[in-house]
Structure 1
Amino acid sequence: MARAQGARAQMALAFETTYGTPPVGGFTKMPFASTSLGAEQPLLNSELLGYGRDPLAPIKDAVTADGDVVVPLDAEAFGFWLKAAFGDPTTTSTGPCTHEFQSGSWTLPSMSIETGMPEVPRFAMYSGCVLDQINWQMQRSGLLTATARLVAQGETVDTTTSAGTPESLELQRFGHFNGAITRNGSALGNVVSADITYVNNLDRIETIRSDGRIDGADPSIAALTGSIEVRFADQTLVTQAINGDPCELEFAYVLPSGESFSLTVHAVYLPRPRIEISGPQGVQATFDWQAARDSTVGRMCKATLINDIEVY
Structure 2
Amino acid sequence: MTKQARGYKATLMLGFEDSYGVTATPVGVMMPINTCNLKPSRKKNTGGTLLGTRNPAQPFDGYTDLGGAAVVPVDALSMGYWLKAMFGAPVTTGTGPYVHTFKVGDEQPSLFIETRVPTDVPFYLLNKGCKVSKFSMDVGGDGELLATVDLMGSKQIKGATSCDSSPEAAQFARFSNFQATLKEGGQAIGVCPSFNFSLDAGLDGDTFCIGEGGARGDISEGLMTVSGSLTALLKDAALLDKAMNSTETSLELSFTAGANILTFTFNELQFELTGPTIDGPKGMRCEFAWSAYHADHAASSVVVATLTNTIATY
Q: TM-score range by the shorter chain?
A: over 0.9
Confirm or deny that 1:251 pairs with 2:248: no
For 1:19, give the aligned amino acid: Y
For 2:45, give the aligned amino acid: L
Quote how far apart the aligned CAs of 1:194 are: 0.7
Pairing 1:269-308 to 2, within 5 Å after superposition: 269-297=270-298, 298-308=300-310
Deviations 1:116-146 (CA, angstroms, capped at 9, x unpaired): 0233422100011101001011102100010
Segment of structure 1 superposing worse, 211-220 or 46-55: 46-55
> What SS does the corresponding residue of 1:161 show, helix, strand or coil?
coil
Match of 2:225 in 1: 223
- Percent identical: 28
TM-score by length of 1: 0.96
- 1:309 maps to which of 294, 308, 311: 311
Contact kept in structure 1, 2:92 and 2:98, CA below 8 Å: yes
Confirm or deny that 1:109 pairs with 2:109: yes
Match of 2:201 in 1: 200
For 2:294, give the aligned amino acid: R
Match of 1:168 in 2: 169
Segment of structure 1 superposing worse, 63-72 or 202-211: 202-211
Contact kept in structure 1, 2:267 and 2:297, CA below 8 Å: no
Contact kept in structure 2, 1:252 and 1:263, CA below 8 Å: yes
> Using the alignment, how far apart are the partners of 1:15 and 1:66 within structure 2?
17
> Using the alignment, how far apart are the partners of 1:147 and 1:37 within structure 2?
12
Quote how far apart the aligned CAs of 1:67 are: 0.7
> Using the alignment, how far apart are the partners of 1:2 and 1:160 within structure 2?
20
Match of 2:20 in 1: 19
Closer/same/farther in 2, CA of residues 210 and 189 from structure 1, 3 Å limit: closer
> Using the alignment, how far apart are the partners of 2:212 and 2:191 within structure 1?
57
For 1:149, give the aligned amino acid: D
| Unaligned segments of structure 1, at least 5 residues | none
Deviations 1:26-71 (CA, angstroms, capped at 9, x unpaired): 2111000001101122111121124311111101111111110001
> Using the alignment, how far apart are the partners of 1:195 and 1:22 within structure 2?
35
> Using the alignment, how far apart are the partners of 1:293 and 1:230 within structure 2?
25
Quote how far apart the aligned CAs of 1:299 are: 2.2
Match of 2:267 in 1: 266
Deviations 1:210-267 (CA, angstroms, capped at 9, x unpaired): 41111111111110000101110111101111121111100110003x1010000001
Pairing 1:117-132 to 2, within 5 Å after superposition: 117-119=117-119, 120-132=121-133
TM-score by length of 2: 0.96
> Using the alignment, how far apart are the partners of 1:23 and 1:311 within structure 2?
21
| Unaligned segments of structure 2, at least 5 residues | none
RMSD: 1.2
> What SS does the corresponding residue of 1:101 show, helix, strand or coil?
strand
> What SS does the corresponding residue of 2:168 show, helix, strand or coil?
coil
Residues matched between the structures, number: 310
Contact kept in structure 2, 1:25 and 1:164, CA below 8 Å: no
Segment of structure 1 superposing worse, 121-130 or 42-51: 42-51
> What SS does the corresponding residue of 1:19 show, helix, strand or coil?
coil
> Using the alignment, how far apart are the partners of 2:295 and 2:186 within structure 1?
16
Match of 2:37 in 1: 36
